Amino acid sequence: MIPLNTTPGLPPTRKKLVVVGNGMAGARLVEDILAADPDHPFDITVFGDEPYGNYNRILLSNVLNGTQDPKEIFLNPLAWYADNHVTLHAGKRATRVDRDAKVVYADGVEEPYDVLVFATGSRPFVPPIPGTTHRGVFVFRTIDDCRNIAAYAKGKKSAVVIGGGLLGLEAAKGLMTHDVAVTVVEMGPWLMGVQLDEAGGKVLQQTIEKLGITVKTSASTREFAADDHGAVRAVVFADGSEVEADIVVISAGIRPNKELAAECGLACDRAVLVDDTLQTGDPSVFGVGECVQHRGVVYGLVAPIWEQTKALAARLTSTNPDAVYTGSKLATKLKVMGVELASMGRVSDVKPTDEVVTFAEPGRQVYWKAIVRDGKVVAGCLLGDLGPADEVVSYFMTERPAPARRLELFFGSGTRTQGADFSLADMPDDKQVCDCNGVCKGTIVKAIQAGKTTVQSVGKATRAGTGCGSCKKLVEGLIEAVNGEVKADPSEGWYVPAVPLDKPSLVAEVKTRGLKSVSAVLRELGTGEDEKSKNGLASMLKGLWGTEYVDERDARFINDRVHANIQNDGTFSVIPRMYGGVTSADDLIKIGEVAKKYAVRMVKVTGGQRIDLLGIKKDDLPGVWRDLGMPSGYAYTKALRTVKTCVGSEFCRYGTNDSTALGIALEKTYQGFEFPAKVKLGVSGCPRNCAESTVKDVGVVATEGGEWEVLVGGAAGAHVRKTDVLCRVKTREEAIRVIGRFLIYYRDNAKWVERTYDFVPRIGIEELRGIIVNDSLGIVADLDAEVEKTAAAYVDPWLERDNPAYAGQFEDVRTVPLPMA
């Protein structure tokens, strides 16, 4: 249909293909064209509104809740466009199309075309409610929206999401992680009105209310009220009631971006009209994605849009000139706020003659429903337990007759349900494994047979597992089934990325060659240079060579260069040591005076029982340290941080032993010890464990009878792990000694940035106890010697205040005047 010069022997004529829109449809179309025919006859130009490459919009809520960095959700970085000879006008909005001259205009760019594709997507619908322009009112659609919401949410107390559809609930989930009370407001009588019926909506509501979200349905919003400074403060409803809202996120549906097409005279209804060839009214102009209406339907999910791009790519490249798109049957599996959900067809649309098959288990928030019309499944939703979802979806998609005993839809013809012994080998090849990217088992198996034996390489080859990632376990299982084993990525075992050696081999090589500086190691053994490798090598070499280590300051992160923690405004945080969290009136007065003298913006008590002075300028650091006259608390680096203690037997009526004295002694002994990751200690004076010793890297708990229990490998941060018991000892001195051995063994054997909570289970507590307590390797004497050597090498880094280690170490911006003209 696109006339191309394909005469054999003649080079094909280059055609100009312009795609307006760089979202999930536009970019996918380009990918599909490249995949369909690497020698395709087009010079491709893409216009994108946002100044980025394209990203996976499905994962935006992860960006909002902080589980994924914006960097991780990009599908095609800007470089991908260049590598594939695709011209991308990022951040340029197409403003006009002249179909007679066949030219697209955008912000000073004129791009002529032979073939034009509209992939302009859609935009959030902002209902005409007064107050949508107040500060703190957001829509939720782009990466910038996420960033803006996250930044604004800091310190706020309450958030209201307008719209209880899929996207609204995703936004609510993201907001929960920002420590605000979240209310979801839905105009309809139940949540997710498109995918669920009333009973299902109520089940979902109960489940998410248990997570602490307030849900308000059948609620009509009258206005967003602002405070005196123009910032939103409440949502006001039609009945006059109010809900407090420091943030409002509007997620009230989307509207197709059809204006550009309409303005150049193309037929539009709710969206740009296209036929089964995805052509608009103009034979040179096509449309895909959320901006088009096909057979009366506008799609807003990714799967049908990808069917469209595939058909259009096949047509444009003539790899299948007859390819058509005849519409999609919508079946989706989702996870909303931890609730698993499958939905197909229109569940609310029940005719009097339909058979409705339901199963409910209210105790577990399980709800299954299928609508059977003329003997076939035409709609359904499953919530809470997706056991039979694949079966029901398969009846729906294939339109095959539903089983005569309708209960077999959910429970199979016998005991045949997908349980723990479900076999991957029995899975049919056309069974979809990756629901985000529509990848079937057969495709994945082919890739594995072609030699892709890591989850990452299968992902690269097939895209499976590169969306939400929830099918990675299945991919891993398939690799095991086909290949026998999953190959580990070899670089996973390396100590740092730039040197292809694991830690023991690296240590051996460094010792043999006598490499005492980071630059020497990189020069002799490295394959590149990056900041993580430099940091990791610096830490390792310092532990290895002690005083012989050649300390190159450019191998250190800024915090380790100026011995303070950099903050988001370029200033630093200063935390002096406060041994065991015990201080004195004189020290407190001194800290207070310093805070006044340097106009410290915030004085904060830390979680590790000490005092943080925040907002110190770089050139004030030496003065602050001098005036404090206290040693560095090492709060900025991978080293021994704090030893948290309870008051213990000195004051506490329950205390059985002197926990503060042991804590202070531990901190004085091991201050300045550097490790592959930070190390926090805790000492509790009785099993009530007020110093939270069971979630520390090393914890000590006093027991009735005067003994100390030594615990290792705990954590209570992003990762929570209870410690394992290493041993019990009778005296304070024994406790200090055994902890020193553990610390050195950890320092010398852990991978870079491996916390003890990973290290201890990796080695195994039995094995560790053998090595450290029972001396099974005969290295305890060496460990003790290493403790002494390291302790002897300790110098307070804050003494560099009088003797900077390099030019400009503690200097801020130097101002240089422009010469007189």
Partner 1 sequence: MSATLARVPLCTLDDLPVGLGRPFRVGDTPIAVFRTRAGKVFAVDATCPHRGGPLADGMLAGDQVVCPYHAFRFHADTGACDQPGVCSIATYPVEVIDGAVTVTL
Instruction: Tell me which of 70, 327, 442, 469 binds partner 1, using CB under 8 A.
Output: 70
Among the listed residues 552, 587, 734, 796, the single contact to partner 1 using CB under 8 A = 552
Using the rule CB under 8 A, is 566 a contact of partner 1? Answer: yes
718 near partner 1 (CB under 8 A): no
Exposure string over 455-486, b if 16+ CB within 10 A, otherwise e: bebbbebbbbbbbbbebbebbebbbeebeeeb
* Both structure tokens of 208: 């998410």
User: Which residue from 74, 237, 545, 549 is in contact with partner 1, where contact means CB under 8 A?
Assistant: 74
Q: Which of 210, 553, 601, 789 binds partner 1 (CB under 8 A)?
A: 553
| Closest to partner 1 by CB, 22 or 45 | 22
Among 2, 58, 77, 397, binds partner 1 (CB under 8 A): 77
Residue closer to partner 1, measured from CB, 447 or 574: 574
Return the number of the residue (654 or 806) whose C-beta is nearest partner 1: 806
Which position among 531, 619, 650, 767 is part of the footprint of partner 1 (CB under 8 A)?
531
Strands 698-702 and 708-712: antiparallel
Handedness of CA 550, 554, 555, 558 (dihedral sign): positive
Torsion sign over Cα 587, 588, 590, 594: positive
691 vs 609: CA distance, rounded Å: 10
Instruction: Tell me how many residues contact partner 1 (CB under 8 A).
Output: 45
* Pairing of the two strands 54-55 and 42-48: unpaired
Part in contact with partner 1 (CB under 8 A); list of ranges 162-170, 252-260, 450-458, 530-538: 530-538
Q: Under DSSP, is residue 270 helix (H, G, I), strand (E, B) or coil?
A: coil
> What CA–CA distance (Å, rounded) separates 56 from 89?
19
Angle (CA) 299 305 309, round 5°: 145
Q: Are the C-beta atoms of residues 424 and 418 closer than 8 Å to each other?
A: no
Q: Which of 76, 120, 466, 756 binds partner 1 (CB under 8 A)?
A: 76
Question: x/- string (CB under 8 A) for partner 1, residues 6-45?
Answer: ----------------------------------------
From 322, 554, 593, 788, residue interacting with partner 1 (rule: CB under 8 A) = 554
Specify the stretch interacting with partner 1 by CB under 8 A; choose among 48-56, 268-276, 503-511, 758-766: 48-56
Binding mask of the shown chain, residues 480 to 519, with x at each position contacting partner 1 by CB under 8 A = ---------------------------------------x
Residue 659 tokens, joined = 């926990």
Q: Which window, 77-85, 609-617, 684-692, 738-746, contacts partner 1 (CB under 8 A)?
A: 77-85
Instruction: Compute the residue count for the chain.
Output: 821
Among the listed ranges 166-174, 319-327, 525-533, 715-723, the one in contact with partner 1 (CB under 8 A) is: 525-533
Contact by Cβ (8 Å): 697, 713: yes
Q: Of 123-152, which residues contact partner 1 (CB under 8 A)?
A: 143
What long-range pairs does 67-70 form, CB within 8 A, spacing at least 24?
A: 67/177, 70/143, 70/146, 70/147
Quick check: helix, strand or coil at residue 755? coil
For residues 535 and 659, which CB has a smaller minimum distance to partner 1 in the complex? 535
Category of 54 on φ-ψ map: left (φ > 0), alpha (ψ -120 to 50) or beta? beta
Between helix 503-513 and helix 518-525 the angle, nearest 10°, is: 100
Give the contact letters, 568-587, x = binds to partner 1 (CB under 8 A), - = no: x-x-----------------
Does 806 bind partner 1 (CB under 8 A)? Our answer is yes
State which of residues 5, 13, 35, 51 lies at the interface with partner 1 (CB under 8 A): 51
Contact stretch for partner 1 (CB under 8 A) within 23-31, 75-83, 503-511, 785-793:
75-83
Torsional sign, CA 434, 440, 444, 447: negative
359 versus 557: smaller Cβ distance to partner 1: 557
Q: Nearest approach, Cβ of 176 to partner 1 (angstroms)?
A: 23
Nearest distance in Å: CB 71, partner 1: 6
Q: Is 764 exposed, middle or buried (0-12, 13-18, 19+ CB in 10 A)?
A: exposed
- Near partner 1 by CB under 8 A, which window of 113-121, 548-556, 767-775, 794-802? 548-556
Measured from the CB of residue 389, what is the shortest distance to partner 1 in angstroms? 35
Asked if 819 touches partner 1 (CB under 8 A), the answer is yes
Please state the closest distance from residue 70 (CB atom) to partner 1, in A: 7
Structure tokens given for 195:
């995918």
Shortest distance, position 808 Cβ to partner 1, whole Å: 5
Q: Which residues does 61 contact at the CB level (< 8 Å), separation at least 6?
A: 170, 171, 173, 174
Q: Which of 404, 420, 795, 816 binds partner 1 (CB under 8 A)?
A: 816
Q: Select 463 or 762, whichever has its Cβ closest to partner 1.
A: 463
Residue whose CB is less far from partner 1, 22 or 207: 22
Of 252-260, 457-465, 499-507, 556-564, which segment contacts partner 1 by CB under 8 A? 556-564
Least gap, CB of 528 to partner 1 (angstroms): 7
Query: Which residue, 685, 583, 560, 707, is CA-closest to 635?
Result: 560
Chain-centre distance for alpha carbon 757: 21
* Amino acid identity at 513: R
Q: Give which of 529, 786, 539 is closest to 639, Cα–Cα.
A: 539
Q: Closest approach of Cβ 819 to partner 1, in Å?
A: 6
Does 527 participate in binding partner 1 (rule CB under 8 A)? no
Binding to partner 1 by residue 549, rule CB under 8 A? Answer: no
| Residue with smaller CB distance to partner 1, 571 or 790 | 571
* DSSP code of residue 788: H
CA distances from 455 to 76, 83, 458, 487 (A): 19, 24, 5, 8
- Positions in 290-309 near partner 1 (CB under 8 A): none
User: Under the criterion CB under 8 A, does residue 529 sit at the interface with partner 1?
Assistant: yes
Residue type, position 767, single letter: E
Residue 42: beta bridge partners? 15
Please report how close the Cβ of residue 522 comes to partner 1 at its closest, in angstroms: 9
Residue with tokens 């490798």: 533
| Residue 783 per-residue DSSP state | H
Query: Of 233, 333, 534, 638, which one interacts with partner 1 (CB under 8 A)?
Result: 534
- Give the residue, chosen from 2, 78, 199, 356, that forms a contact with partner 1 under the rule CB under 8 A: 78
Minimum distance of partner 1 from residue 193's CB (angstroms): 34
Of 45 and 76, the one with the shorter C-beta distance to partner 1 is 76
Classify burial at 220, counting beta carbons within 10 Å of its beta carbon; exposed 0-12, middle 13-18, buried 19 or more.
exposed
Q: Considering beta carbons, is residue 135 or 147 the nearer one to partner 1?
A: 147
Render 362-410 in DSSP notation, one character per residue. GGGTEEEEEEEETTEEEEEEEES--TTHHHHHHHHHH-PPPPSSTTHHH
The residues, any chain, with a CB within 8 Å of residue 95's CB and separated by 6 or more, are 105, 106, 107, 260
Q: Which parts of this chain interact with partner 1 (CB under 8 A)?
A: 50-53, 55, 69-71, 74, 76-79, 143, 519, 528-531, 534, 552-558, 561, 566, 568, 570, 806-809, 811-819, 821
